[in-house]
Amino acid sequence: SAIPNGGLWLHVTPAGMVSGTPQAAEVETVVYQVTDSAGDTAQATFSLTTAASGALALVSPAALPQATNGGFFAYQLLAQGGLPPYIWSTSATPQPCYLDWDGWLLCAPTSAASLSIPVTVTDADGTTATQTETLPVGAALTLAGVDSTDGVIHLPPAFAGSAYAAQLDAFGGTGSGYAFSATGLPAWATLSSGGLLSGTPPTSGNVEATLTVADSGGATATASGLINVSSSGQVSRPSYNADPASGFFVEDGQLYDPNGNPFRIRGLDRNHYDSTSWAGGASGAQSGANAVRFFQYAIGDQTGYYDATQFYPVADAQSVANGILPIVTAANVPDSSTGTSGDQSTTDLAAVVGWWVANESTWAPLMSQAAFNVANEWGPSASTAWEYAYQAVQGAISGASGTTITLSDTSATNPFAQTPFALIQGAGGIADQVVVLSNPGGAPGAWTVQSSVALSGYTGGGTLFGGAVGALRAAGYTAPLVIDAGGYGQDLADLASYAAAIQASDPLQNCLFSFHAYGGTTNFQASIAAITSSATSTTVTLDSHLPYHPFNPAYPANGNNYTGQAAYYLSGVQGLTGIDGLQTTNHNNVGGTQGAWTVTLNGSFTGSYVAGTGTIVADSYVGYLFAQLAALRAQNVAAGVLEFGPGNPSGDPTTTGTGPSPTNTSVQQIVAAAEAWGLPWAYWAWDDNSEAGGKTPYTGWFGATLNGPGVYARSAPPDLTAAGLDVLLNPRSGLGALASPAPFLE
C-alpha cells in the first residue's frame, strides 16, 4: 500500500505494481509498505524523477488491428509529451465505439463496415493533438477479452489455496462449435473444451499460458492468458465473530469469505430485482460480477406490498446459484412509496428495520451467503443522528407501564439517551416489535424511555436492543450489515467520524460501510507553479494553461469563484513548513487567469518555496477520498464504493456529467482509485433505464445494458452501453479482468 506523503497520482496494486500518470516534471519521494499474511510489515523509500517530455503527440498507430463483427474490441491509445494528465475525446457518433477519458477505445461492431474514429487528446495545458483511427471489421474468429494493445487476456486474479474459476469465450468465425484448449497451464489448472478454466492454486505467482479456440469450421485463434495468483491471505475467523461460525466476516477492516479468504467486492448494482434477465446462465450470471447489490421495492404488509418471500428466490436462484454474492437492499419505507435515499426520518428507518426483523426467518437460510444493506442512502450528513440510528445498544427491561419502559441498567448515564428506536425482545406479555423511543429519563438502575406504542400486558423480563445494528443482530442477522453513508450516500464525514463507533458496537463487528461516488466526488487536481503567503492567507498558483479553472471548470464563464471545496490537500511541496497535508480555505477560493489560475488557502506558511514543486487536489478528489476510506481499516472499519455512475461520457470537463448527481469523474478514474486503495466497488447500475420499454441510451444515462432492463449475453457485446463496455469488458479494469469469483464455487 502507498503512504500518501508523495504525489497522489502514484499508486501501487496489492500485487506490487506501481503505476500512475505523472502530473509534472518533478521529483517525488514516496514511501511504500508491504504487509504479509501474518501482519508483519516492511517499508521502502525511493525517489522518482519525472522529466519534461517535449511536444504533445499521439503515438498509437492510425491503423488499428481488426475487430470482429458482433464481438468486442479494446485498444488503449497512447500519447506522449505535453503536460499530463491527458483527456481523450472524439467528435464521432459514439455507437458502436466509445472512447473513455483515459484513452481506451472500446467498440462492439454491429456490421462489417470499417470504422473511422477521429480522436483528440488534450493535456493539462490545454494543448491538443488529433488523429483519425481506422478500425477494420471482419468475421475472423477471436478470443473474448483480448487487449488488442498487447494481445493479452487478463484473467481475474486468484488466491493461493482458494478455488478459482474463469469462463473463456469467443466471437466470430462460424459462430458455433467453439472448443477451447491451452498450453503452458500449471498442474493445478484445467481448461474444459467449453472454456471453463478452474482449479485451486497451491502457491502464489503469475500464470501465463497460451489459450486457443477452434470453431466448427476449423479456424483457430490464440492469445496469451495471464492470471495473477496472490498469497492466500487466509485468516481465522475472529473470536468476536465465532458465533455462529459461518458467513462472510470483517477483520482488520477487510471482508473475508466464509473460509477466511480475502473477498473484494467488484460488482454491480441492480435496479430491477424482478427482471428475469439476471436468472440462471443469462445476463447477470455472465456479467463477470462477483457481487450484486439489488433493490427491494414495495416492501411491507399492505396490499400490493411484499414480504421477503418475494425477494428471497431472487437472491438464491439468480445470485448465489451463479456464484454471485447478493447484497440485499431496502430501497423504500415499508408500505410507502417513499424512498430511503436522502430520507432523514428515524421513524422511517425504524419501520425499515421492523420489516427486516419481521422477515428474518425467510432470510435465515442465506445468512452465510449474503449481505444485507439496511437502507439505501438513508440519513443526514456529518451527524450523530446517523451514528445513533445505527449504533447498537442494549439494556435489560425491568418494567413497562403504558408507554414507559424502565431499564435495570446502572450506568451513570441513560444508555438509550440518543437512541431513536429499539427492538423489544423476549418481554412477557408483549410481542417482539420495533418501537420508536423518546424522552429518556430516570436514574441509574431505573433509566426510562418512552415507547411510540402502549405496552399493555407486560408481565416481566425482556431486553431492549437499540439502533439498527442492535435490533438486526438480536433478530438473528449474522451476515454483514451494509450501511450507507448519509447525504444520499455521499457524506464521507459520517464514515470518518462515526463508522468506527458503529462497528465497535456491533456484537459481531461485521459491518461494511458504503460510500457513493457521484457529484461529491471530483477529479480536481493540478501541479503547483508558485506559492505566496500574506499575513492571513496563501495564494497557490497552478501550473495549468487550461482555458478553464482546474478546480472549477465552469469558471470564469459563470463568475462563481467558489468550488464547493472546504479544503485542499497538498503534497510534495518543498521549502515551506507545514503546508503539506489538508489545508482549509475561505468560501471564495479560486481565481486568476489562464496560465496563472490560483487557489486561496487560509493562513500563512514559513520558508522559501521551491518553485515548481508539489501537487494540490481538492478534498473531494477521488484519490484523496478513497485514501481516507482505506485509512478506516486501521479502526477495523471496512468501507467500499458501492455506487458510482458513468461520469461525463463527452470527456469535456466544462460540461456536467450524467443524472441527478452529475460528476466529471470517469469510470476509469473511480475504478483505478478503488483498486489503488484496495476498496470494494460496484457500478450503478446494471439496469437503470431512462427510456420507454426498459431501454437505455448508449451514452447519457446510468444503465450498463441497452435493453431489458438488463438483457445481455456474453456472446453479444452490442447489448451493452458505453459505460457497460467499460465496466464489464475493459480488458484491464473491467469486471471480467478483476472480479475474482465468489466462494460459492468451492
pLDDT bracket for residue 358 (50, 70, 90): very high
User: What is the reported pLDDT for 50?
Assistant: 61
Per-residue pLDDT of 316-330, as tens digits, reads: 988 998 889 999 999
Residue listed under C-alpha cell 477495523: 636
pLDDT band of 31, cuts 50, 70, 90: low
Is the pLDDT at 692 greater than 90? The verdict is: yes
DSSP 720: B
Rounded Cα distance, 261 and 245, in Å: 14
Q: Which residues pair with 68 in a beta bridge?
A: 138
**Cα–Cα distance list, 530 to 26, 245, 548, 616 (Å):** 14, 58, 18, 12
Summarize the confidence of residues 682-686 as an average pLDDT.
96
Mean of pLDDT values over 433-457: 97
Q: What is the mean pLDDT of the chain?
A: 91
**Confidence label for 3 from pLDDT (cuts 50, 70 and 90):** very low
What is the per-residue pLDDT for 2? 40
CA of 413: how far to CAs of 383, 409, 416, 742, in Å?
Answer: 21, 9, 9, 45
Of 87 and 654, more confident:
87
Residue-level pLDDT at 249: 97
Do 596 and 649 contact (CB within 8 A), yes or no? no
* Predicted structure pTM score: 0.92
H-helix segments, 60-116: none
Strands (E), 264-385: 266-270, 291-296, 325-330, 371-373
Report, in angstroms and rounded to the nearest whole number, the Rg of the chain calculated over CA atoms. Answer: 27
**Cα 174 to the center of its chain, rounded Å:** 39
Q: Which residues have a Cβ under 8 Å from the Cβ of 242 and sit 6 or more positions away?
A: none
Comparing C-alpha atoms, which of 17, 86, 15, 271 is closest to residue 668?
Answer: 86
- Closest to 286 in 3D by CA, of 166, 444, 388: 166
Distance between terminal CA atoms of the chain?
A: 29
List pLDDT tens digits, range 497-506: 999 999 999 9
Note the pLDDT tens digit of each residue in 161-171: 999 999 999 99
Which of 538-542, 563-567, 635-639, 682-686 shows the lowest mean pLDDT across its residues?
563-567
pLDDT digits (tens, 9 = 90+) for 241-281: 987 778 999 999 999 999 999 999 999 999 999 888 776 54
Q: How far is 98 from 95, CA to CA, in rounded Å?
A: 7
- What is the DSSP code (8-state) at residue 565? -
E strands within 322-471? Answer: 325-330, 371-373, 393-401, 404-407, 421-425, 433-443, 446-451, 463-466
Q: Which residue has the higher pLDDT, 302 or 392?
A: 392
| Confidence (pLDDT) at 471 | 98
Q: pLDDT band for position 9 (50/70/90)?
A: low
28 close to 613: Cβ distance less than 8 angstroms: no
- The alpha carbon of residue 254 and the mean position of all alpha carbons in its chain are separated, in whole angstroms, by 14
Q: Report pLDDT for 518.
A: 96
Grid coordinates belonging to 85: 494528465
Using left for φ > 0, alpha for ψ between -120 and 50, and beta otherwise, residue 319 falls in: alpha
pLDDT digits (tens, 9 = 90+) for 327-345: 999 999 999 989 999 999 9
DSSP three-state, residue 278: helix
- CA 729, CA 145: separation in Å to the nearest integer? 7
User: How many residues can be counted in the chain?
Assistant: 746
Q: Is 386 helix (H, G, I), strand (E, B) or coil?
A: helix
Prior bond to 709 cis, omega within 30? yes
What integer pLDDT is reported at residue 93 of this predicted model? Answer: 75
Residue 398: name the closest of 382, 387, 390, 409 by CA.
409
pLDDT at residue 5, as a whole number? 35
Report pLDDT for 641: 98
Rounded-to-integer distance, Cα 632 and Cα 255, Å = 13
Phi, psi of 626 (to 5 degrees): -70, -30
In this model, does residue 292 exceed pLDDT 60?
Answer: yes
pLDDT given for residue 101 in this prediction = 83
Supply 247's cell numbers.
Answer: 458467513
pLDDT in tens, 94-134: 899 999 888 999 999 999 999 999 999 998 888 999 999 99
Structure confidence at residue 160 as a pLDDT band (50, 70, 90):
very high
Beta strands in 402-524 (DSSP E): 404-407, 421-425, 433-443, 446-451, 463-466, 481-484, 511-517
pLDDT surpasses 50 at 463: yes
Reduced to 3 states, what is the DSSP secondary structure of residue 366?
A: helix
Residue 1 is predicted with a pLDDT of 41
Locate 283 and state its grid cell: 445476463
Asked whether residue 188 carries a pLDDT value surpassing 50, the answer given is: yes
Residue 265, all three cell numbers: 467486492
Percent pLDDT > 70 in the chain is 92
Grid cell of 646 as nine digits: 458513468
Please say if the pLDDT value at position 466 is more than 50. Answer: yes
Q: Residue 422: what pLDDT?
A: 98
